[in-house]
A = this chain, B = another copy of it.
Amino acid sequence: MGTENAGTEQRQPVMADVAKLAGVSHQTVSRVLNGAPHVRPDTRERVLAAIRELDYRPNSAARALVTRRSQTLGVVSFDSTLYGPASMLEGIERAARSAGYFVSVTSLRSLDGRSVQEAVDRLRDQGVEGVVVIAPQTSTVSAVARLSSSVPLVAVGSGNQTQVPMVSVGNRYGAGVATGHLLDLGHRTVHHVAGPANWLESQDREEGWRLALQAAGAPVPEVERGDWSARSGYQAGLRIAELPDVTAVFCANDHMALGLLRALHEAGRSVPDEISVVGFDDIPEAAYFIPPLTTVRQDFGELGRRALELLVEELEGGSTSRAHAQISPEMVLRRSVAPANRR
């Protein structure tokens, strides 16, 4: 018996094997694979048949080596367990797939700049062609801006950093609409449970809230600050329940609103009869809170999709557009809000 192909150990077929079986040169196989023109139909058929027969798969490393393109994009995210980041990731992945890219993810250990640099370096070492950073914190964004990286990069989050192309939600706008809605209902002012101070989203939502109050000539109460979690919303709620004349609260996200609702419930303050509550995000559960939560919807999936489009554009169009795309949030009215009692 021959020496080659001994035992069960047969290596993966390569292009040359396909070529031999089809009776053509390896280059013709390559042409078929890459849809090059000027291949006679019957030749193409023979090649395809050989490919099927051998179950041949092109070696992506070899291709990447010579083309200098890995067909892979990287995504850096912080807490991909949260609904927002997870949805963005999914949006990014879907968009990447339909643009013909693979997606490699890596999560941040911590929020300092070093960690961001590490993550991006890791992706670069893997040979990604571009990177999307899901970077909602000031520290992350500024780290990204400082990043020494030769890789095209898009950030998705908030803020108006001009260094880096970015896709973001109109947080200020959304917060303004929510606050304005409450004021229009006759509430003298609106309290605010803000997110962490170092998140851009917090800052923007807080600013939108503040500006809306000022524009209406309403007093600006002191902010309660949470960390996005339901727990922190609950604690803020306990404090707010102590205040005598609160009639409306705008929470920087739905999870904190959930905690707030429970705190108010336990304190015997009825929502919306005594106090109106508005959240932000429109997580799928918000409609099933007690009572159903009025909130500001942002389309995370779309956010991810747009970020990826921007990256691909930069990658393929070559246009280093410093564009900032913005996505408008939209208010969703539910039962947690009512007109102020005119006492």
Contacts and interface: CB of A to CB of B under 8 A. Distances in A.
Contacts of A90: 79-81, 107
A45 to B, nearest CB: 22
A65 B230 CA distance: 49
Contacts of A58: 125
Contacts of A229: 284
Interface in A184-220: none
A60 B74 CA distance: 14
A58 B125 CA distance: 7
Contacts of A281: none
B230 A124 contact: no
Count of identical protomers in the assembly? 2
A94 B107 contact: yes
A282 to B, nearest CB: 13
Interface in A102-133: 102-107, 122, 124-127
Contact of A255 (B93, B262, B285): B285
Contacts of A80: 86, 89-90, 93
A287 interface: yes
A287 B288 CA distance: 15
A26 interface: no
Given A60-B126, A81-B87, A127-B59, A288 B234 contact: yes
A248 to B, nearest CB: 20
Given A80-B90, A288-B234, A290-B261, A61 B72 contact: no
A287 B230 contact: yes
A265 interface: yes
Q: Which of A89, A93, A102, A265 is packed against the most chain B CB atoms within 10 Å?
A: A102
Q: Return the 3 tightest CB-CB contacts between A and B, nearest first.
A: A61-B64, A230-B288, A86-B86
23 contacts: A59-B65, A60-B70, A61-B62, A72-B104, A72-B126, A79-B90, A80-B86, A80-B89, A80-B90, A86-B86, A93-B107, A102-B126, A103-B104, A103-B105, A103-B106, A104-B104, A230-B287, A234-B288, A258-B288, A261-B290, A262-B290, A262-B292, A290-B290
